Structure 1
Amino acid sequence: MKAIMIDSYGDAGVLQLRTDMPRPQATPGHVLVRVASAGINFMDVHTRQGKYAKSVTYPVRLPCTLGMEGAGVVEEVGAGVTNFSPGDRVAWCIAWGAYAEYASIPAARLARIPDAIPYDVAAASIFQGSTAHYLVEDIARLGPGSTCLIHAASGSIGQILVQMAKRIGAEIFATSSTADKLAVARARGAHHAMEYDDGRFADRVRDATGGAGVDVVFDSVGKATLRDSFRACRTRGLVINYGNVSGSVTDLDPIELGEAGSLFLTRPRLADHMADGPTVQRRADAVFAAIQEGALTIDIEGRYELEQVQQVHNRIENRLQVGKSVLWIDRTL
C-alpha cells in the first residue's frame, strides 16, 4: 500500500512516499480502517520535526506513518473489539497512521460518523472540533453570559472556539494579526475583534469590560501574548494556554499569577480529555451535531493527493493558512 513515512526527524525533506508498505493488521484492541480522508495539521509537522520524540502524552516514535486524524470505513476488527464492525463509517484523531491507504487504529480512539457527514468533513473536523469542545465544555465551562477572549480567532481551532462559544451564549472577544483575519472572526460570531497590537489588546478588553477583564482567555499563541493575556483576565479568572506558536514561555514565576489577580493557568492536552471510547464518541457527536444544525462551519482549504504532502508541509511551515486542509487518499468511498 501507499504511505507517507518518516525514519528521521527534520524538515519536509524527510517525508518518504512508500508504495510497498504491508497493509497493517487489526491487532487486539485495534480496528483496520480503509482511509478515505486524512487531515493535515500542525501536529503532523510537529511530529515530523521531533517535538513529540520524548512525549509521554503522545508516544509516537520512529519510524512512523504520519497523519494523526482521519476518516474511513472499517475493514476488520481485532480481538476484543465488540463495538465496531466491518462497514462502519468512522473517524479518529491523535492516533497516527492516517497518511496511508489503510491504518490500524485503537478502537478507543474511533467515533462513528453520521450518514449525513461526508468523510472529508469528518476528517477535517474531529481533531480541531474535539479540541475546541473540551476546551469550551470541560476546561472553560462557558455558559450564557460568560466572557472570553480567543486568540488566533481566524485559525482553524480559533474559528471553532468562536462558534462554540457563540452557540453557548458567551460574549466573545477575538484577536488576530490582520484586518482580513479579524473579519473572519466577526463572521464566525465574535462580538469584539482587535489586533494584538503589541499586547495592547489587553487594554482594549479591560476598557470594554469596565475594567474587569474576561472570565476566560484561550491562548494558543504563547510567548508573544501570554503575559498580556493575564492582564486581560479578571480576578480569579482562567487562562488556558493550549498552544505556543510564538514560542514557549520558559521564565514564568507562579507569583505572576497572584500579582495578576490570583489567576488560574492551565496547559491541557487533548489526549487527557479523550480517555475512553464513550468520551471520544460524545465529543464527536457534539461536533457533528453542530455541523448538521448549521451552528458550526468547517471550511476545507484544499484537497490533495499523497504525492502532494511534502508540498503542503512546506506551506504549513511557511505559516500559510492551511490548518483545515484535507488530504484525499481514496475517492471511491
Structure 2
Amino acid sequence: MTKAVIVRQLGGPEVLSYEDWPLASPGPGEVALRQTAIGLNFVDTYQRSGLYPVQLPFVAGNEGAGIITALGEGVTGLKVGDRVAYQGHVGAYATERIASADRMVPVPDGIDDRIAAAIMLKGLTAYYLLFKTWALAKGETILWHAAAGGTGLIATQWARALGATVIGTAGSDEKVALAKAHGCHHVINYNSEDFAVRVRELTGGRGVDVVYDGVGKTTFEKSLDCLRPRGLMVSFGNASGVVSIPDITLLSRKGSLYVTRPTGTHYLGKREDLLEGAGKLFEAVLDGAIKVEIGRTFPLSEAADAHRALEGRETTGSVVLIP
C-alpha cells in the first residue's frame, strides 16, 4: 500500500481524499518509485474538475521526483537507486508509485529533488513553447501572462537569456516585483492598467511577436490586440476558463494572426524529445539562466489546501507537495 491523494468524484478541492491506495509491483517497461517531492500544476485542477477527463477513481498529479526502488522486465538505461523526475504522467500525488520507465528522466547532480519536481512540467512547457511552438530569436518581443506564476518565472528568465525583450503581466504589486526580478524587462499590473494599451506603448505601436497565455478566457481577445500583424497567439492554459473563437474572421481583422493551442503530449511524446528538452532545461538551471522560485510547500496530506491556494491566485512561483 501507499498513501495517495485520490479523486473519486469530480468537483472542487474538497473531493481530494488522502488515503491508502494499492501498490502493485512494476510490470514490463515500468519502474517503482519512492517519491521525494511532487509538483503542483493547473492541469491537476483541470483533471480534478473534469475539464480534462481522467477515468475515475485516479491518483491526482502529473509531476514528481524520486528514487527508483524496483525495475520491471525489459527496463534498460535505469537502475535501482537512480534519482529521476517526470512530468505528464498522472498518479503523482503518492508516497510511492508505479510509472512508465520511458517517462523517467535522470536528475543530474546539482539539482535537488524539490527543484526537479518544481520544474519538470512547468520547465518543459516553457521549453517547447520557446523552442518549438515558436523558435524565439534574439531581438524579438513577447508578452507573457501570469509572469509571476510557476511557468512564467521559468519562461521569462529563459526568454531573456535567449535575447528577447520580455513583457509580463501580473495581478498585484508584489507579483509585479517578483516578475521583474525574474527576467521581465517590463511588467504590467493588469488590475490597474489596460495591458493591451500598455503593450502598444512599450512597443511603439508595433505590437509583440508572440503572446503566451495560460490564463485563457479573460485575457484571450485583448491579447490579440497586443500582436503585430501575422503575430502568433499561443494559448496554453485555461486558468480563467476555456477560450472559444465564435468568429474566426476576428483573426483577419486584427492582423492576419495565427493562433495555436499546444500541449506537451504532442511535443514531448517521444522519449528523445523528452530527453532533449530536459537536457536543455537542466543546463539552463545549472548555468544560472533560470533561477527556480519555490513559493510554497505543503504536506501531501494537505493537497486540497494547495489546490485552493493555486486556484485562488494566492501562490507565486512553483508549489511543491512533500510526501
Normalising TM by the smaller chain, what interval? Answer: over 0.9
Question: Which secondary structure state, in structure 1, belongs to the residue aligned with residue 169 of structure 2?
Answer: strand
**Cα distance change, pair 240–126 in 1 and its aligned pair in 2 (3 A):** same
Please state how far the C-alpha of 1:242 moved relative to its aligned partner: 0.7
Q: Distance in 2 between matches of 1:197 and 1:65?
A: 36
- Residue 273 of structure 1 and its aligned partner are, at CA, apart by 1.0
2:296 and 2:315 in contact (8 A); partners too: no
Asked if the contact 2:83–2:106 (Cα under 8 Å) also holds between the matched residues in 1, the reply is yes
Query: How far off is 1:197 after superposition?
Result: 5.4
Q: Does the alignment pair 1:163 with 2:157?
A: yes
Task: Tell me the equivalent position of 1:278.
Answer: 272
Q: TM-score, normalised by structure 1?
A: 0.91
* CA drift at 1:153: 0.8
Name the CA shift for 1:24/1:303 in 2 (closer, same or farther; >3 Å): farther
Aligned-residue CA RMSD (Å): 1.7
Checking the alignment, whether the CA contact within 8 Å between 2:63 and 2:89 is kept in structure 1 is: yes
Matching residue of 2:50:
50
Offset of residue 7 of structure 1 = 1.5
CA deviation vs aligned residue, 1:109-143 (integer Å, no higher than 9, x gap): 21110021111110011110000111001012111
> What is residue 166 of structure 2 aligned with on the other side?
172
Aligned residues: 322
- Residue 22 of structure 1 aligns with an amino acid whose one-letter code is P
Structure 1: unaligned runs, 5 residues or longer = 54-59
Q: d(CA) in 1 for partners of 2:13 and 2:194? A: 36
1:6 matches 2:43: no
- Are residue 301 (structure 1) and residue 302 (structure 2) matched? no
Q: Is the 8 A contact 2:42 2:310 kept in 1?
A: yes
The answer to whether the aligner puts 1:250 opposite 2:251 as a matched pair is no
Distance 1:302 1:205 in 2: 31
Q: 1:132, 1:110 → 2: CA distance? A: 19
Whole-Å separation in 2 of the counterparts to 1:317 and 1:197: 17
More divergent stretch after superposition (77-86 vs 182-191)? 77-86
Correspondent of 1:96 among 85, 90, 100: 90
Shift, 1:323, TM fit: 5.7
In the TM superposition, residue 199 of structure 1 has moved relative to its aligned partner by: 7.7
CA distance in 2, matches of 1:145, 1:105: 41
Inter-partner Cα distance in structure 2 for 1:48 and 1:248: 16
Which residues of 2 match residues 224-243 of structure 1 at below 5 A? 224-243=218-237
1:136 to 2:130 alignment:
yes
Write the letter of the residue equivalent to 2:19.
Answer: R
Q: Distance in 1 between matches of 2:260 and 2:66?
A: 34
Contact kept, 8 Å, 1:108 with 1:280, in 2: the verdict is: no
Contact 2:42 2:239 in 1 (8 A): no
| Alpha-carbon distance in 2 for matches of 1:105, 1:229 | 38
Tell whether the 8 Å contact from 1:73 to 1:87 is kept in structure 2 after alignment: yes
Structure 2 residue aligned with 1:56 = none
1:231-288 per-residue CA deviation (whole Å, 9 max, x = no partner) reads 1101111110111222223343111111111111001111111112221122112221
Q: How does 1:1-333 map to 2 (within 5 A)?
A: 1-19=2-20, 21-53=21-53, 60-196=54-190, 200-321=194-315, 324-329=318-323
- Tell me: CA distance 1:84–1:295, structure 2 relative to 1, closer, same or farther (3 Å): same
After TM superposition, the score normalised by the length of structure 2 is 0.94
Pair 1:190–1:306, CA change in 2 (3 A): closer
What SS class does the counterpart of residue 205 from structure 2 fall into?
coil
C-alpha distance in structure 1 between counterparts of 2:303 and 2:258, whole Å:
40
Distance 1:318 1:207, change over 3 A: closer
Deviations 1:17-38 (A, max 9, x none): 223x332321222221111111
Matching residue's letter, 1:149: L
3-state SS of paired residue (1:5): strand
8 A Cα contact 2:293 2:317, kept in partner: no
Partners of 1:267 and 1:67 in 2: CA distance: 22
Distance 1:315 1:201 in 2: 25
Does the 8 Å CA contact 1:110/1:281 hold for their aligned counterparts? no
Compute the displacement of 1:300 (Å).
1.5
SS at match of 1:2: strand
Q: C-alpha deviations, 1:148-171, integer Å up to 9, x for none?
A: 111111111111111010010001
